[in-house]
């Protein structure tokens, strides 16, 4: 497999991470109110979105190890990004009585566009991944201490983001 696919999938994951992360409710771009939606549903939705951006960032580590399952996960991230943006742009969920800000619309369209090559290139990466590197990683430690600390840090930050985003979306 060529380095190009690993770099391209990684770049698309990081770009997708950045696009969705910029849309945290209560931030500069996502200013709509969702106070009419049950807080539990909003919390679950924000947990899903936060998990998606965290997984997108963490999976890059395993993409560079050329692991087939990592490309499959990145493809699933691509599908998830597409569905999230399609639901919002199609006014299916979450629906707000407030109009969608122009910047939000642009970022969601860009995110939807980026999700498609992420999906297709991830599938290609999975088909071409190096099977010998899969065996090596299973036999040895699959991740470093730094990776574990970074993942833990992202989870802690993620919990804070979920709390902030849910309270902001509720208008609290």
pLDDT at 139: 43
Q: Helices 68-89 and 131-139, interaxial angle, to 10°? A: 100
Pair of tokens at residue 29: 């771009």
Residue pLDDT, tens place only, 93-145: 999 999 999 999 999 999 999 999 999 999 999 999 876 454 444 445 667 88
> Mind spelling out the 3-state secondary structure of 144-160?
CHHHHHHHHHHHHHHHH
Helix or strand (DSSP H, E) at 166:
helix 145-169
Q: What is the CA radius of gyration of the chain?
A: 17
Q: For residues 127 and 100, what is the distance between their CA atoms, to the nearest angstrom?
A: 39
Q: Is the pTM of this model over 0.75?
A: yes
Mean residue pLDDT across the chain: 89
All residues at 6 or more sequence positions from 141 whose CB lies less than 8 Å from its CB, including other chains = none
């Amino acid at each position: 497999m060529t380095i190009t696919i690993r770099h391209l999938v990684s770049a698309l994951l990081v770009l997708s991470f950045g696009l969705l992360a910029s849309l945290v409710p209560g931030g500069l771009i996502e200013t709509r109110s969702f106070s009419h939606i049950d807080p539990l549903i909003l919390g679950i939705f924000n947990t899903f979105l936060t998990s998606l951006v965290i997984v997108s960032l963490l999976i890059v580590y395993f993409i560079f190890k050329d692991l087939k399952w990592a490309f499959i996960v990145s493809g699933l991230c691509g599908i998830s990004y597409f569905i999230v943006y399609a639901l919002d742009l199609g006014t299916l969920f979450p629906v707000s009585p407030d109009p969608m800000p122009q910047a939000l619309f642009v970022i969601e369209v860009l995110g939807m566009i980026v999700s498609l090559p992420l999906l297709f290139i991830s599938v290609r990466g999975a088909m071409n991944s190096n099977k010998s590197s899969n065996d090596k990683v299973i036999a040895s430690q699959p991740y470093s201490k730094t990776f574990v600390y970074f993942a833990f840090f992202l989870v802690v930050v993620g919990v804070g983001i979920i709390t902030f985003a849910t309270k902001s979306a509720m208008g609290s």
